[in-house]
């Protein structure tokens, strides 16, 4: 199937931009009065609309002209770190946190991750499928077409498999692309008293099922005092790597050490990094590991943002994600979080938008097909009701896409708010 979409006031292709380091807005390729030619769900060409329309007519290609005066097209956004396959919520934890209690103390008192584990274990697979589907569609309305989804609220072979099966089935019920990650090493479950024994159990009993059923290609672990130390996490990740999995790490959220492990293991990403110092920043910048910063967790926990500005200036690849989860980051609004982070960390529009498109795709090892509007890339497109791309971040998450194009069809979200903002 071939189709020409247009006309767009601006198309931001992100073509030619580097994965690493600081970016200036002047580096953005902006095609004005543009059309996007799509062939077999891939971008064929982005160019002046009238020029493409003449060629499309000659080849009898379908032309879709949207009934809006001003439209800006971005690549479909990428949320590269979420925990949205869960049941229940942790409103009680949140109330304690905003009243002054710490995350670690809440966890030690029976709240935190284990509270979500109890609720998610009680949920049926069908309940988790529906929860995940609804959340994926909520993100799709924000223009997010690719979503990483972690397990990690099961903490046993049976329950982790249940969650990952639910993610796979949910992926068949949403237009968004879901990328599953196994985070069985989220924390120590109540059935175990020895962390080494638990991780050995996962490697011996869970990894073979994940491979056999093709439930995921990615393994994650939380490296932190309340979870797993650098030493035992390294042994676990070595086993995961040997079994053929890609690696990602929850790193440097409260203390350092995780980012060092991510770099040593050549993990795709080190995620969180709120505690990273100049040493860790340089280490990440000198590697191919993507730094994934999670402003939603900082907002939810009332703590400093990860040092995104310093990471970029040092030469790192920086992605921005929601960390959507029932505890520390319940918001799940990527554009709002990215806009707030940009204002706080002084990120350019180019750096911020790169962090939720092609640089986020790199964190998922999808950078050869996602996150840019150029020849051969997936035709995932978020279309905003404005004539100036800078308004997207200016409205701090209030401007959402009016149209999302995905899998050779468009989904329209025409709202009074969107139209009034334009």
pLDDT of residue 105: 87
Same domain for 48 and 93: no
Please identify, among 316, 339, 363, the residue that sits at the C-terminal boundary of a domain: 363
Does 66 share its domain with 83?
no
Residue 182: pLDDT band by 50, 70, 90 thresholds? very high
* Mean pLDDT along residues 106-117: 87
Residue 298 class from Cβ within 10 Å (0-12 exposed, 13-18 middle, 19+ buried)? buried
Q: Please check the confidence at residue 420 and state whether its pLDDT lies above 50.
A: no
Residue 223 gets which letter from DSSP?
B
Q: Give the mean pLDDT of the chain.
A: 95
| pLDDT at residue 416, rounded to an integer | 37
Query: pLDDT by residue (tens digit) across 124-155?
Result: 999 999 999 999 999 999 999 999 999 999 99
Q: What is the pLDDT of residues 300-348, one digit of tens each?
A: 999 999 999 999 999 999 999 999 999 999 999 999 999 999 999 999 9
Quote the CA–CA distance of 155 and 283 in Å, as a whole number: 31
Shared domain for 135 and 282, answered yes or no, is yes
Same domain, 277 and 392: no
163 and 65 in a common domain: no
Backbone angles phi, psi at 19, to 5 degrees: -75, -30
**Residues 130 and 13 reside in one and the same domain:** no
Query: Do 406 and 322 share a structural domain?
Result: no
User: Over pLDDT 70: what percentage of the chain?
Assistant: 98
Q: Tens digits of per-residue pLDDT, 11-62?
A: 999 999 999 999 999 999 999 999 999 999 999 999 999 999 999 999 999 9
Question: Pairing state of beta strands 72-75 and 381-384?
Answer: antiparallel
Mean pLDDT for 204-215 is: 98
Distances (CA, A) of 344 to 23, 305, 339: 17, 8, 9
Residue 110 confidence (pLDDT): 79
- What is the residue range of 174's domain? 78-363
Residues 31 and 135 in one domain: no
Q: How confident is the model at residue 414 (pLDDT cuts 50, 70, 90)?
A: low
């Amino acid at each position: 199937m071939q189709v020409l979409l247009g006309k767009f006031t601006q198309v931001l292709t992100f073509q030619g931009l580097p994965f690493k380091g600081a970016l200036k807005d002047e580096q953005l390729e902006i095609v004005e009065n543009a059309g996007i030619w799509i062939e077999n769900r891939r971008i064929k060409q982005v160019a002046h609309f009238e020029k493409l329309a003449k060629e499309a007519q000659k080849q009898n290609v379908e032309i879709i002209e949207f009934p809006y005066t001003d439209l800006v097209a971005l690549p479909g956004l990428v949320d590269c770190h979420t925990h949205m396959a869960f049941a229940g919520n942790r409103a009680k934890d949140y109330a304690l946190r905003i009243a002054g209690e710490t995350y670690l103390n809440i966890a030690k008192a029976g709240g935190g991750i284990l509270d979500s584990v109890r609720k998610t274990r009680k949920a049926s697979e069908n309940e988790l499928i529906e929860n995940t589907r609804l959340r994926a569609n909520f993100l799709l309305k924000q223009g997010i077409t690719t979503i990483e989804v972690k397990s990690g609220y099961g903490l046993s072979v049976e329950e982790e498999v249940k969650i990952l099966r639910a993610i796979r089935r949910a992926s068949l019920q949403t237009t968004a692309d879901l990328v599953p990650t196994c985070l069985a090493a989220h924390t120590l479950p109540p059935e175990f008293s020895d962390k080494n024994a638990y991780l050995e159990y996962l490697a011996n009993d869970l990894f073979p099922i994940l491979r056999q059923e093709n439930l995921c290609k990615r393994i994650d672990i939380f490296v932190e005092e309340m979870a797993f130390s650098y030493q035992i996490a390294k042994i676990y990740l070595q086993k995961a790597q040997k079994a053929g999995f890609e690696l990602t790490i929850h790193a440097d959220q409260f203390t350092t050490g995780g980012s060092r492990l991510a770099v040593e293991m050549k993990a795709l990403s080190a995620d969180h990094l709120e505690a990273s110092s100049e040493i860790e920043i340089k280490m990440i910048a000198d590697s191919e590991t993507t730094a994934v910063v999670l402003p939603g967790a900082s907002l939810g926990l009332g703590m400093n943002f990860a040092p995104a500005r310093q990471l970029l200036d040092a030469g790192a690849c920086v992605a921005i994600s929601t960390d959507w989860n029932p505890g520390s980051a319940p918001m799940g609004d990527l554009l709002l979080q990215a806009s707030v982070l940009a204002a706080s960390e002084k990120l350019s529009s180019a750096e911020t938008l790169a962090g939720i498109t092609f640089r986020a795709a790199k964190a998922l090892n999808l950078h050869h097909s996602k996150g840019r509007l150029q020849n051969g890339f997936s035709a995932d497109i978020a279309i905003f009701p404005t004539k100036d791309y800078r308004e997207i971040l200016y409205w701090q998450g209030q401007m959402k896409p009016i149209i999302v194009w995905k899998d050779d069809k468009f989904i329209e979200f025409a709202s009074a708010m969107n139209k009034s903002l334009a």
